Amino acid sequence: MIPNVTVFGRSLSFYMVMVLVGIFVAGFYALRQAKKRGLDEIDFLFTLLWSSVGVFFGGHLLYAVTNYEAFGTFLSSFDEIWARGDFLNYVLFLFGGSVFYGGLLGGLFAGRTYAEKKRLPVDGYSDIAASMIPLFHVFGRLGCFFSGCCYGVESSFGFVYRYSPVAEANGVCRFPVQLLEAGCNLLLFVVLYWLLRKGFQRGRLLYFYLIAYGCIRFADEFLRGDSYRGVFFGISTSQGIAVATILVSVILLLKNRPVQKKNT
């Protein structure tokens, strides 16, 4: 695979390259959709920027939580770590990765908080975000595949990593779960874009996204071969969050059903 690429003489993570491409493509798409719907592009851009702050902190925070053994060691041995002068190194190790669900929830919280404070059209923004998120996620999962992270279980069908930064991923045939999720996200984007374009279920598309992606994530987690996401009661942290987001989204959909006017 391609864990790193050289750009202008500098070695860059291929995952980060794909993330940057995803940000550009999804951002361009979102701003174009905002313009088509008569929404202020600058206000929406600032909302996306605030969301990106939530994505950054949320993703890294959940990574630390899922790596609960190291997090527990950090808390219990804080004085010793500080005395050795390893505080910064340990923090970088503890928060050095990112979990998608942490970034998703952090980004939604930050973006919604900013939009509500500025009295911006939250429903219009959330409908666009519902289709923008899976579009971005396609590029992210392609980056995972080529970089050798978020890899699949051992399988007779798949690919063999030789240069993955995670040593245990190398040398065995693994199911390309990243490509499966990328394809599912692409299909989800197409469906949500069609709903957005037709004006169906206005103000509710984000709930549909959370339900659909929750089902996708819960299923494909069984095909994941890495163990960095935490496992509780036989399910991973992401599966637990998927179930919670599905239940909450269904409740909110039922609670906020559009009122149909009766003919008189």
Q: What is the pLDDT of residues 135-157, one digit of tens each?
A: 999 999 999 898 888 888 998 88
- The predicted-structure confidence for 56-85, as pLDDT tens digits, reads as follows 999 888 887 777 677 777 777 877 877 787
d(CA 200, CA 202): 6
Residue 7 has pLDDT above 70, yes or no: no
The predicted pLDDT at position 150 comes to 84
Average pLDDT over the chain, rounded to an integer: 87
> Which pLDDT band holds residue 264 (cuts at 50, 70, 90)?
very low
Kindly give the residue spans of alpha helices, DSSP state H, lying in the chain: 14-36, 41-66, 68-76, 78-84, 87-94, 100-117, 122-147, 177-198, 205-220, 237-255
The predicted pLDDT at position 161 comes to 84
Which three-class secondary structure state does DSSP give residue 10?
strand
The predicted pLDDT at position 122 comes to 93
Domain ranges of the chain: 4-255
Q: What number is the average pLDDT over the span 224-238? A: 74
Residue 196 has pLDDT above 90, yes or no: yes
Q: What is the pTM of this model?
A: 0.86
Contacts of residue 90, defined as CB under 8 A and 6 or more positions apart, other chains included, come to 74, 81
Look at strands 231-232 and 235-236 and give their pairing.
Answer: antiparallel
**Higher per-residue pLDDT: 230 or 116:** 116
Most confident of 78-87, 114-123, 229-238: 114-123
Q: What number is the average pLDDT over the span 81-109? A: 82
Least Cα distance to 30 among 51, 16, 14 occurs for 51
Least Cα distance to 25 among 179, 160, 134, 181 occurs for 134
Residue 106 has pLDDT above 80, yes or no: yes
